Amino acid sequence: MLVFGWLAALMIVLISALIYLHPRVLDWYVNVHVGLLLLPIASAFFGWIYSGAEIKAGPWRFDTISWMMAVYISTLGFIIQRFSIRYLHGDRVYRLYFLFLTWTTGSAASTWMTDDLRLFSICWAMPLFGLVFLTALKKEWRPAKAEAVQMGTMFFVSSLAVCAVSVWLFHATGEWKLSGALSTDKLSHLKWWETAGISLLLILAAIIPAGQWPFHRWLLESAATPTPVSAVMHAGLVNAGGLLLWHFSPLFTDTVTHALLLLIAFISVMIGTGVSFVQVDYKRQLVASTMAQMGMMLIQCALGAYEAAVIHLILHGFFKATLFLQSGSAVPRPGHSAQTLVHKKGHRFVGTMLGLALGFGFWSVSPEEPARLLSALLLGSSMTIAWSRFALFREGRWLGLALAAILAFISEEVRSGLMAMLHKVEASHFAPPLALEWFAFILFIVFSLALTQFFKHRSSGVAARFYMRLVHFSEPSLPAVERHPYYLHAYLKEEKTHE
């Protein structure tokens, strides 16, 4: 009944989106359609709470993580489409947006409920190309058209890699069932070069939708998409890479592939962080931040902390969707000036000491935490940055710090609950060597020290060249920009023709 309820809810919302395409259907029906989006959320939530054990029905498999991801993706879809009712109103293809948004989020949620390699390959491609269609809806605008072509090419390579993995696994194990092909008995018969080859294909398929180096250009140039499309892209589809690696984690038992993924992700973190510092466009800052955050998620996967990576992508998704949907508030309003900041001596030292104390304390009391050295580093650096920001304000400093502490406590409780829940889901028990985690720790320390030196000597020739290099690197290509909105001229010309 739970499985039937979920599939029926998906069919209802998809049929509703198709009904709204008919020109005789009145505009107020969009509110009915968005209201119907609560059905997949409710059915997935009931499945999450009441399913108990794993459910298999034909090519479908429902477990804790698949129900949880269905709730997460369906909730994001509802929020974004609710926002789009007014934001996109008046657009020439207004109704098509709701169809493709429904298609994209529904197929993305279904991907993690499949237990057939053939169906998984199809479901993997469906939301990616749904995003391409959403980007291409502004066909009169040259940058959107160029970005859709670039995205389509990248996503085709990713989909092709997943198809190759499915076919390879079938020929190697004789199983189309995903759970059967990834069983310990079947994987034990794979030769080392087969495991390495499949792992490399999975890494390729994962880093492309995550916008990682060297396939990051499509993500950096995606700022041309409308805000709701950017929200569903950065809060949902870029996270698919981490879930793909989680799904096939029993295959990742080679330290070399973990190290390769770590290096790719770390380079992406450096590029994304650097671009977010030098870009003045708020939307491009968010895009670069997504690239860096996805790099952090894949580093967690490279260190075997798949549960932490899944929790990271969920919390980051809601956070990034909020930033995109509220991006208009980043523009300062007339008559409102920023609060005066006062620098005080010693506040950086205090923040550093607090960060060290918090990071070391976390590392000491949580020996069971996956990738706890990296987690302690991130927690300590977050504390240092938070203190350095609050210490600058003349008023409301302690109130802001207390509020941040309360929110951090709530976030930790949510993370602990999700972690305990994900521990019940079967995943890879392979743990990369501790040396790999120390290697990641040293890389981040060196990167942080290098950034600090650049900020201290920002007028030096090396810092200037590095700055200009990042600016040049983050700027879109010529086909992805348009100095004059020619598509508006095309709209006016077409309207005059009809008159």
CA dihedral of residues 333, 278, 316, 283 (deg, nearest 10) = 50
268 contact partners, CB below 8 Å, separation of at least 6 = 207, 210, 211, 212, 213, 216, 291, 292, 294, 295, 298
226 CB-contact burial (10 Å; exposed 0-12 / middle 13-18 / buried 19+): middle
**In sequence order, what E strands does 12-140 have?**
55-57, 60-62
Structure token digits, residue 466: 């590095």
Residue 328 has a pLDDT of 63
Identity of residue 428: S
- pLDDT value of position 341: 47
pLDDT tens digits, residue range 329-353? 655 555 554 444 445 556 667 777 8
Cα–Cα distance measured from residue 222 to residue 480, given in angstroms and rounded to the nearest whole number: 9
C-alpha span between 25 and 257 (Å, rounded): 53
Distance, in Å, from the CA atom of 248 to the CA atom of 179, rounded to the nearest integer, reads: 10
Using pLDDT thresholds of 50, 70 and 90, give the confidence band for residue 149. Answer: confident
d(CA 272, CA 169): 34
| 118-132 confidence digits (pLDDT tens) | 999 999 999 999 999
Residues 15 and 7: their CA atoms lie apart, in Å, by 12
The terminus-to-terminus CA distance of the chain in angstroms comes to 55
Tell me which residue of 2, 1, 81, 86 sits closest to 35, measured CA to CA: 81
Structure tokens that stand for 13 in this block: 């919302």
Helix (H, G, I), strand (E, B) or coil at 370: coil
- Read off the tokens for 92: 């020439």
Q: Are 291 and 274 in contact (CB under 8 A)?
A: no
Would you say residue 320 has pLDDT above 60?
yes
Side-chain-side CA neighbours of 486 within 13 Å: the count stands at 9
Helix, strand, coil % in the chain, rounded to nearest 5: 75, 0, 25
| Stated length of the chain | 499
Kindly report which listed range (64-78, 236-250, 436-450, 456-470) carries the lowest average pLDDT score.
456-470
Neighbours of 424 (CB within 10 A): 9
Structure tokens at 462: 């090396």
Alpha-carbon span 300 to 445, nearest angstrom: 16
93-107 per-position pLDDT tens digit: 888 999 999 999 999
Residue 273 has pLDDT above 80, yes or no: yes
Note the Cα 417 to chain centre separation in Å.
Answer: 21
135-140: average pLDDT:
80
Integer Cα distance of 108 and 127 in angstroms = 5
Query: Look-up: residue for tokens 């690197």?
Result: 473
**Structural domain boundaries of the chain?**
1-112, 129-326+445-498, 343-444
For the CA atoms of the chain, what is the radius of gyration?
Answer: 24
Report the range of poorest mean pLDDT among 34-38, 206-210, 483-487. Answer: 483-487
Q: CA-CA distance, 160 to 355, in Å (whole number)?
A: 44
Residue 411 pLDDT: 73
Helices (DSSP H) in 88-213: which residue ranges? 94-111, 117-136, 142-173, 178-181, 184-187, 192-207
pLDDT tens digits for range 212-268 = 988 988 888 877 778 888 888 887 788 888 888 888 888 888 888 889 999 999 999
Percent residues over pLDDT 70 in the chain: 86
